[in-house]
């Protein structure tokens, strides 16, 4: 009987020990899970809701309530000027939409610099920065880059004309921003014409004068190119390496002045050289 009791006791103690082991393992697993969750939470990116387009938008389009949606964006990397509420995006109500001033893709955060104030007029005036003016480039100037130019591209402008009898080409302005380009029609033609650049009033007057006095030509500036271009001027002689030949004027030799008096009369008169008197 005692042997049976001892065996039961041993079995009970074994089961109790096994139960303690299992419970300890469970709590260890739970502690590991909690630690992993704590570490994950510490490195998790906190997001906030911001407004973005639900379709691609281009220059001059109206931004309405039907064109936007809320997306998640990392709070620590939030761009300046985003809109987080409908009241911020349409402070005067959805009946007063904004105008798009910079192209935007789907799910790209809408920022204040990419749209006008609510209720702004649609058209070229909505694309101009404060204090700037629109200068249209003639189609014959932009023809070489037809269908290549896009809004926000930058251009260098050269002038060609005649000064003091010499035909020259000179860089007159750099980094002028394109703000509008005609879209291609349904047949794919016409794109790249109607190019409008943004200039200061002083630059507008200078370009108008230069256009009247000669011809303008342009070249696009590479994206991200911040090279400072110094003044450039050349003519055909410099291009071909022709040195101007300066012809010296022949030296004029002034003859010594001689003075004479006449002596005698009639056929007997003779000329006698005398010393000239200073005047």
Highest mean pLDDT pick, 22-36, 50-64, 215-229, 261-275: 50-64
Pairing of strands 196-199, 133-136: antiparallel
Q: Tell me the per-residue pLDDT of 27-84, one tens digit each, with 9 for 90 and over.
A: 677 777 777 777 776 667 889 999 999 999 887 788 999 999 999 999 889 999 999 9
3-state secondary structure of 155: strand
For residues 126 and 94, which has the higher predicted lDDT (pLDDT)? 94
3-state secondary structure of 31: helix
Q: Tell me the per-residue pLDDT of 233-254, one tens digit each, with 9 for 90 and over.
A: 776 667 666 676 666 667 766 6
What is the model's pLDDT at position 224? 80
Q: What tokens were used for 214?
A: 């000669």
CA distance 156 to 182: 20
Q: Report residue 201's pLDDT band, with 50, 70 and 90 as the boundaries.
A: very high
For residues 21 and 86, which has the higher predicted lDDT (pLDDT)? 86
Q: Tell me the per-residue pLDDT of 2-21, one tens digit each, with 9 for 90 and over.
A: 665 566 666 666 666 666 66
For residues 267 and 203, which has the higher predicted lDDT (pLDDT)? 203
DSSP of 62-73, one letter per residue?
EE-GGGEEEEEE
Q: Is the pLDDT of residue 141 over 90?
A: no
Q: Is the pLDDT of residue 180 over 60?
A: yes
Q: What is the pTM of this model?
A: 0.53
For residues 6 and 203, which has the higher predicted lDDT (pLDDT)? 203
CA distance 28 to 20: 12
3-state secondary structure of 168: strand
């Amino acid at each position: 009987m005692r042997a049976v009791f001892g065996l039961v006791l041993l079995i009970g103690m074994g089961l109790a020990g096994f139960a303690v082991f299992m419970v300890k393992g469970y709590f260890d697993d739970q502690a590991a899970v909690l630690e992993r969750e704590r570490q994950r939470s510490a490195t998790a990116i906190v997001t906030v809701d911001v407004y973005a387009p639900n379709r691609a938008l281009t220059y001059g389009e109206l931004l309405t309530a039907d064109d936007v949606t809320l997306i998640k964006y990392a709070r620590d990397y939030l761009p300046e000027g985003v809109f987080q509420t409908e009241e911020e995006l349409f402070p005067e109500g959805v009946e007063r939409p904004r105008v798009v001033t910079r192209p935007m893709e789907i799910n790209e955060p809408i920022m204040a610099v990419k749209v006008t104030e609510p209720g702004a007029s649609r058209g070229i005036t909505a694309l101009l920065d404060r204090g700037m003016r629109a200068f249209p480039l003639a189609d014959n100037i932009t023809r070489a880059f037809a269908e290549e130019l896009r809004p926000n591209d930058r251009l260098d402008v050269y002038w060609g004309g005649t000064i003091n009898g010499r035909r020259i080409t000179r860089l007159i302005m750099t980094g002028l921003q394109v703000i509008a380009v005609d879209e291609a029609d349904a047949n794919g033609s016409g794109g790249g014409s109607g190019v409008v650049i943004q200039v200061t009033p002083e630059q507008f007057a200078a370009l108008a004068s230069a256009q009247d006095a000669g011809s303008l030509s342009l070249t696009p500036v590479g994206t991200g190119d911040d090279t400072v271009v110094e003044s450039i001027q050349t003519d055909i002689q410099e291009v071909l390496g022709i040195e101007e030949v300066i012809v010296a004027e022949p030296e004029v030799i002034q003859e010594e002045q001689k003075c004479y008096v006449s002596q005698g009369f009639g056929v007997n008169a003779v000329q006698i050289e005398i010393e000239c008197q200073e005047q």
